[in-house]
Amino acid sequence: MLQIDLTNKVAVVTGGSGELGRVMARTLAGSGAAVAVHYLRGQDRAEAVCQDIINTGGKAMTVQADVSDLDSVHAMRGAVAEELGHADIIVNNAVHQYDWTSVLEQATADYESQFRTCVLHNVFMAKAFVPDMIERKWGRVIGINTECTMQCSPSQSAYIAGKAGQDRVLRVLANDVGQHGITVNQVAPGWTISDKYRETPAEDKRYRDLVPMGRRGEDQEIANAVAFLASDLAAFITGVYLPVCGGNVMPRI
């Protein structure tokens, strides 16, 4: 039977205290990885995720960093290495939240923040963590993208400008480091049901009617894709943008 086995691996999940990040962190830990749960400001939430993992027999730590600052990311790398060991898996999930509006009305600062927290976030994580992966000839870089990058709908411009830039950075990185046994992939969720929406359901019929599978995805389904790409089952998959959205977007060839 095929199993996702991340025993003896160390994973870092940025935005690990968030709606999707916490499920990714718990899922990687459930597959055997020791997990560093990153946060920027949500220390209490990160500590709760860490405690969940420890309570189920896993190993975890919390770590604070500003992913848009290279020195801060390098400090995070040092803290993780000291407590858990060198990272084998990085999941670049954190992103800055802001109000969406038209291109003409969107603040310039919003484009700048998305560049820093999508593009530079992925660049800085690579600079900090990938050299150790190269040395050990094994590694997984997983960026969390979005179905929105393919949709280009009104009000999405700042967000998808950052995510499209992230896509190109990670595809180049896949070419740069593949020879070292390192894969670089992206998971692109749709409008996903997480704890927030379970507590306060949204009116989503219009969205569901557009999805070939007729429903919204669950946070666990996103985390399952991340765990698969982190495992040896996906050892020969790299450079992929993988929509996990029930077919709402389908890359064509």
- Supply the pLDDT for residue 116: 97
Of the chain, the percentage scoring pLDDT greater than 70 comes to 100
Q: In the chain, how many domains are there?
A: 1
What are the φ/ψ torsions at residue 186 (nearest 5 degrees)? -130, 140
On whether residue 60 sits in a domain, the answer given is yes
- Supply the pLDDT for residue 45: 97
pLDDT-based confidence at residue 219 (cuts at 50, 70, 90): very high
Q: Which residues contact 78 (CB under 8 A, 6 or more apart)?
A: none
On whether residue 2 sits in a domain, the answer given is no
Q: What share of the chain is helix, strand, coil (3-state, %, to 5)?
A: 45, 15, 35
Round the average pLDDT of the chain to a whole number and report it: 97
- Supply the pLDDT for residue 154: 96
* 100-to-160, 200, 216 alpha-carbon distances in Å: 11, 21, 21
Task: Identify the domain containing residue 44 by its residue range.
Answer: 10-243
On whether residue 190 sits in a domain, the answer given is yes
Average pLDDT, stretch 133-162? Answer: 97
Cα radius of gyration rounded to whole Å, the chain: 17
Catalytic residues: 159
pLDDT-based confidence at residue 227 (cuts at 50, 70, 90): very high
pLDDT-based confidence at residue 97 (cuts at 50, 70, 90): confident
- Contact 50/79 with Cβ under 8 angstroms? no
On whether residue 101 sits in a domain, the answer given is yes
On whether residue 30 sits in a domain, the answer given is yes
Classify 249 as helix, strand or coil.
Answer: coil
Q: Which of 20, 23, 19, 49 is nearest to 37 (CA)?
A: 49
The rounded distance, in Å, linking the Cα atoms of 153 and 102 is: 10
On whether residue 252 sits in a domain, the answer given is no
Which CATH number covers residue 52? 3.40.50.720
On whether residue 1 sits in a domain, the answer given is no
Note the pTM of the prediction, 2 decimals.
Answer: 0.97
pLDDT-based confidence at residue 226 (cuts at 50, 70, 90): very high
Q: Is 155 left (phi over 0), alpha (psi -120 to 50) or beta?
A: left
Average pLDDT, stretch 49-60? Answer: 98
Q: Which of 201, 12, 32, 205 is nearest to 93 (CA)?
A: 12
